[in-house]
């Protein structure tokens, strides 16, 4: 069979399977990400049916997937919202980083992986999955709840923090040393601050490059600008994903809304490709030795993330049930955790980091999706009703 023919058959069959799995996940009310990872594990080296020709397509598609994931995250926020979130939840953001990054760093050191792997695993356990959390809030009908702005503020702070974390990690994983890491951080701060300034002061000028009413030119223009900025960012050792995220922030108004609408199908396609390729690049046999550490880490950091949300919601004057909803909703990890693990493993930091991250993400997404529903059960409502209400707000 001709190579191109086999490629079409493999890619077509896999995309069809992903579409059916996504529909199944939607029917049962869970994120499709674990299913994508499991499919990738089945098709990679050591899997049930290894791919022959489609792996290169998925490798390229996965890079586009990361860029689109971060672009769409940026489009969800305006520069004004970012600044407001930083002011409103800065203490919660610091607490979030300390409670959730330290267990990952500690686990890497306990496993003997070294300080660079510790920095990477700290990032894996730190950041909640914006995509999964947003889906949980939407599926459970909590968009209008009092705790939802607190949840979104924490997600915004985490996403913005990645603009500074990823360049430093990139410098460390290539062995550039402390000076290069500090230089990367300075560059990241300058670039991010410049783009935020332009977005705040001159966002209309950037948005004026595109027409919100012409879908074709909007898709081509926004995607072209995003990939251009992502490439330039990578050239100066700032993560391409961060460059894409900042482009999303710079776009505003009707252009941002229209771009989000027309780019969502592309994001869904290449995000699925990204998660599948991460699974393909991971040998299922490598997961077995790290399954217990991943389970321990998932249990610990789901508890610390719950504590983060609880404390942030209490500080916002939200009642006890809302505090539980905040903490439990934030527990899933996803896209950023995989991005961080991919970056570290590609640089040869620690081969076992990828299988551990895969198992960890699977456990937190499945567990977090179930735990987020717990506050709506009659049993849980009865238990929390016995707790004293917040002195500054009714328990909602």
CATH of the domain at 106: 1.20.1530.20
- Predicted local confidence at residue 394, as pLDDT: 39
Number of domains present in the structure of the chain = 1
Q: What is the pLDDT along the chain (396 residues), one digit of tens a residue?
A: 567 788 888 889 889 999 999 899 888 877 788 888 888 888 877 777 777 677 778 888 888 887 887 788 778 766 676 667 667 677 888 899 999 999 999 999 999 999 989 999 999 999 998 778 877 887 788 877 888 888 878 887 887 787 778 777 877 776 655 566 667 667 767 776 776 677 667 667 778 888 888 889 999 999 999 999 888 877 765 667 777 877 887 887 888 889 989 998 988 888 888 888 878 877 888 889 999 999 999 999 999 999 999 999 998 888 888 999 999 999 999 878 888 888 888 777 888 998 999 899 989 988 888 898 888 888 887 776 655 444 444 334
62 belongs to a structural domain: no
- The encoded tokens of residue 176 equal 């550039």
Burial of 138 (0-12, 13-18, 19+ CB in 10 A): exposed
38 belongs to a structural domain: yes
Instruction: Please answer whether residues 157 and 94 qualify as being in contact, where contact means their C-beta atoms are separated by less than 8 angstroms.
Output: no
- As a whole number of Å, the CA-based R_g of the chain is 21
Torsional sign, CA 86, 92, 98, 100: negative
Domain that holds residue 334: 11-49+67-376
Q: Which of 97, 102, 86, 233 is nearest to 167 (CA)?
A: 233
- Predicted local confidence at residue 112, as pLDDT: 94
CA 393 – CA 22 distance, rounded (Å) = 39
Instruction: Please answer whether residues 321 and 388 qualify as being in contact, where contact means their C-beta atoms are separated by less than 8 angstroms.
Output: no
- The encoded tokens of residue 154 equal 């924490």
- Predicted local confidence at residue 26, as pLDDT: 83
Count of other CB atoms within 10 angstroms of residue 317: 14
DSSP annotation of 30: S
CA 347 – CA 343 distance, rounded (Å) = 7
382 belongs to a structural domain: no
**How wide is the angle at C-alpha 171 spanned by C-alphas 170 and 173, nearest 5°?**
65
Please state whether 49 falls in left (phi above 0), alpha (psi between -120 and 50) or beta: beta
5 belongs to a structural domain: no
Q: Where are the beta strands (DSSP E) in the chain?
A: none
Q: Which of 147, 8, 152, 45 is nearest to 93 (CA)?
A: 152
Angstrom CA distances, 239 to 63, 117, 250, stand at 12, 18, 17
Instruction: Please answer whether residues 73 and 245 qualify as being in contact, where contact means their C-beta atoms are separated by less than 8 angstroms.
Output: yes
Q: Look-up: residue for tokens 């699977």?
A: 362
- Can you list the alpha helix ranges (DSSP code H) found in 174-283? 177-207, 215-235, 240-250, 253-280
CA 71 – CA 266 distance, rounded (Å) = 11
DSSP annotation of 352: T
58 belongs to a structural domain: no
- The encoded tokens of residue 293 equal 């550490």
203 belongs to a structural domain: yes
Angstrom CA distances, 280 to 39, 46, 125, 315, stand at 8, 9, 22, 43
385 belongs to a structural domain: no
Contacts by 57-63, CB closer than 8 A, 24 or more apart: 57/7, 57/11, 58/11, 58/273, 58/276, 58/277, 58/280, 59/277, 61/270, 61/273, 61/274, 61/277, 62/270, 62/273, 62/274, 62/276, 62/277, 62/278, 63/240
């Amino acid at each position: 069979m001709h190579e191109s023919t086999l490629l079409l058959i493999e890619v077509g069959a896999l995309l069809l399977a992903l579409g059916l799995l996504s529909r199944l996940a939607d029917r049962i009310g869970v994120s499709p990400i674990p299913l994508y990872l499991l499919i990738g594990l089945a098709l990679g080296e050591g899997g049930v049916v290894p791919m022959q020709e489609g792996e290169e397509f998925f490798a390229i598609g996965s890079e586009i997937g990361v860029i689109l994931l971060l672009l769409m995250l940026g489009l969800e926020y305006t520069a004004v919202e970012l600044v407001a979130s930083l002011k409103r939840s800065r203490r919660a953001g610091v607490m979030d980083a300390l409670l959730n990054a330290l267990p990952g760093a500690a686990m890497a050191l306990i496993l003997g992986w070294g300080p660079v792997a510790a920095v990477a695993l700290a990032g894996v356990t730190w950041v909640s999955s914006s995509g999964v959390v947003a889906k949980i809030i939407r599926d459970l009908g909590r968009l209008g709840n009092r705790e939802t702005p607190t949840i979104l503020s924490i997600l915004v702070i985490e996403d913005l923090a990645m603009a500074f974390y990823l360049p430093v990690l990139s410098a460390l994983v290539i062995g550039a040393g402390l000076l290069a890491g500090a230089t990367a951080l300075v560059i990241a701060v300058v670039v991010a601050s410049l783009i935020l300034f332009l977005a705040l002061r001159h966002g209309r000028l950037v948005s004026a490059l595109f027409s919100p009413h012409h879908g074709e030119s909007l898709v081509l223009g926004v995607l072209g600008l995003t990939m251009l900025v992502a490439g330039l960012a990578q050239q100066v050792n700032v993560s391409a994903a961060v460059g894409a995220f900042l482009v999303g922030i710079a776009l505003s108004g009707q252009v941002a809304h229209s771009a989000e609408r027309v780019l969502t199908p592309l994001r869904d396609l290449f995000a699925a490709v990204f998660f599948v390729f991460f699974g393909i690049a991971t040998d299922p046999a490598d997961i077995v030795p790290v399954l217990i550490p991943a389970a321990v880490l998932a249990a610990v950091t789901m508890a610390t993330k719950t504590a983060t949300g609880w404390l942030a919601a209490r500080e916002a004057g939200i009642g006890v049930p809302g505090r539980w909803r905040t903490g439990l909703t934030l527990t899933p990890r996803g896209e950023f955790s995989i991005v961080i693990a991919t970056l570290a493993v590609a640089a040869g930091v620690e081969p076992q980091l990828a299988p551990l991250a895969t198992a960890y993400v699977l456990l937190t997404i499945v567990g977090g999706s179930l735990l987020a529903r717990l506050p709506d059960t009659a049993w849980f409502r009865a238990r929390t009703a016995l707790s004293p209400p917040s002195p500054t707000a009714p328990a909602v």
